[in-house]
Amino acid sequence: MSGTLGDDILNSLTAHVAVVDSAGVILAVNDAWKRFATQNACTSEAFYVGANYLEICEAALRRTGDVTVSAALSGIRAVLSGERNEFSLEYPCHSPEQRRWFVLRVTRLSRTAPASIVVAHEDITAQKKVENALRAAEQTLRHVLELLPVGVWVLDGEGRIVHGNPEGRKIWGGARYVTPDRFGEYRGWWLSTGEPIAAEQWGAARAIREGETSIGEEIRIQCFDGASKIILHSAIPLHDIERRIVGAIVVNQDITARKKQEEELLRTRENLEAVNRELQQSLAREQLMARTDSVTGLNNRRQFLELALHECAVAQRYGQPLSLVLFDIDRFKHINDTLGHQGGDEALRHVARIAGEHRRASDILARYGGDEFVLLLPGSSAEQALVAAERLREAAVAERMNTPAGEVAITVSAGISAFGSTGDSLEQLIHRADLALYAAKARGRNCTVLDSTLDAPRTERAR
């Protein structure tokens, strides 16, 4: 090979290259070597050509005592002596302006002694900065993983655990480094169904096998220390630059305490709802009792007056007919004396049932007091009310009341009043019906009287 061609080859290399003979004398250097020497204040006109490289290294070792220089010198001598065919060493070479790294490579040119060697210093600063940045990022990531309050597991493409942080080991009560075919050793159950999780169903197995991402699956696990916990389980596949799956990241969050609180809150809410239902039912019962008569179940006097006042106002406003029937049980005192108060209550219920069966849906029926009942008939004239009252009275005559002492005949008397042409108040309507009822009693009971047939008001009523 000609000198010119050899020089061209050396100068095409980016590494700083020197050819050194068996005595350590520099025979040739390339342009990169020269540029580096110039940039670092090496003023020799020969750029070290003709200088003894071994002596330069020895002088540097005496001056600095640097172990790297000592290692380099030993390696070069080993290659020159034939003990080794090649030698490499990575070392820092920092300047005040920048941090730099090089790799020294020494290679024999001939296997027979004496032999020349090639000494090359390659600048790997960019590579080292990338490696250092990656190392720093990895250290930062590991530090973050150590501090995270969730369990994190990093798996390789074969499903083996590469890293598990302290929280992950704490959650599981340890760690088990097994491949996906043995994931069945992890004991877990789907919280929603209670079904056990098979080896291939774990999120990590699905992520590595199918590239599936699973987020927030609720799982009950049995830990390696025997404890039972509920976790949120997530897994995502890791891809390389060519989108090939090279592993997975699994994240576990212990939600046992949270689920317990949720269950307690649910029970508390259910209890509160049950108490609220009981209160609503109790309130409804109280409201019903406030509106109804406890013996007959009909509207009581107070409820009747509220409803009747409204009907009276509607009838007066629109000029509609309105009638009222006031009726009671004939000889009720005799029934009480004969059958007792329980028998008297049964008579009241007997009449209330019959009256309820013979009224319209729009009619308002109530127990007015004692053995008295009242029936308000919106939209009905006095004549229509008379028909309704007679139908009720006849039904009472026809249906005898069963008692322990046998059947008892129950009859009723009724008085009817209706709105006049000038209109009346509810109080007047009730008063006139009461007078008509007095008249029915006077006429022998078990009859119905219209107030319009009365000549003069009576002040006493027979029972």
Kindly provide the residue ranges of all beta strands, DSSP E only, lying in 330-386, ordered along the sequence: 364-369, 372-378
The 10s digit of each residue's pLDDT in 308-336 is 999 999 999 999 999 999 999 999 999 99
260: in domain: no
Residues 6+ apart with CB under 8 A from 439: 415, 449, 453, 454, 458
CA nearest to 352, candidates 339, 342, 367: 367
239: in domain: yes
Same domain, 346 and 405: yes
Same domain, 188 and 250: yes
268: in domain: no
140: in domain: no
List the strands of the sheet with 412-418, edge to edge.
364-369, 372-378, 322-329, 412-418, 448-450
CA nearest to 410, candidates 421, 401, 418: 401
Q: Number of C-alpha atoms within 13 angstroms, CB side, residue 46?
A: 11
Same domain, 22 and 104: yes
CATH of the domain at 323: 3.30.70.270
248: in domain: yes
Same domain, 80 and 179: no
231: in domain: yes
219, 254, 289: which is the final residue of a domain? 254
221, 254, 287: which is the final residue of a domain? 254
Same domain, 10 and 118: yes
Same domain, 448 and 305: yes
DSSP 288-323: HHHHB-TTT-SB-HHHHHHHHHHHHHHHHHHT--EE
Using DSSP's 3-state secondary structure scheme, residue 456 falls into coil
Contact in structure between 162 and 250 (CB atoms under 8 Å): no
Q: Which two tokens stand for residue 384?
A: 């229509």
Same domain, 445 and 309: yes
Pairing relationship of beta strands 16-20 and 26-29 according to DSSP bridges = antiparallel
CATH of the domain at 190: 3.30.450.20
Using DSSP's 3-state secondary structure scheme, residue 339 falls into helix
Flag residues of the chain having pLDDT under 50.
1-2, 458-463
Same domain, 159 and 26: no
In angstroms, the Cα distances linking 215 to 161, 204, 359, 457 are 19, 11, 67, 89
413: in domain: yes
How many domains does the structure of the chain reveal? 3
Same domain, 398 and 433: yes
Same domain, 98 and 152: no
Q: What is the pLDDT of residue 217?
A: 94
Residue 100 belongs to what domain range? 3-128
Same domain, 156 and 210: yes
288: in domain: no
Same domain, 231 and 360: no
76, 96, 128: which is the final residue of a domain? 128
CA nearest to 323, candidates 402, 250, 394, 383: 383
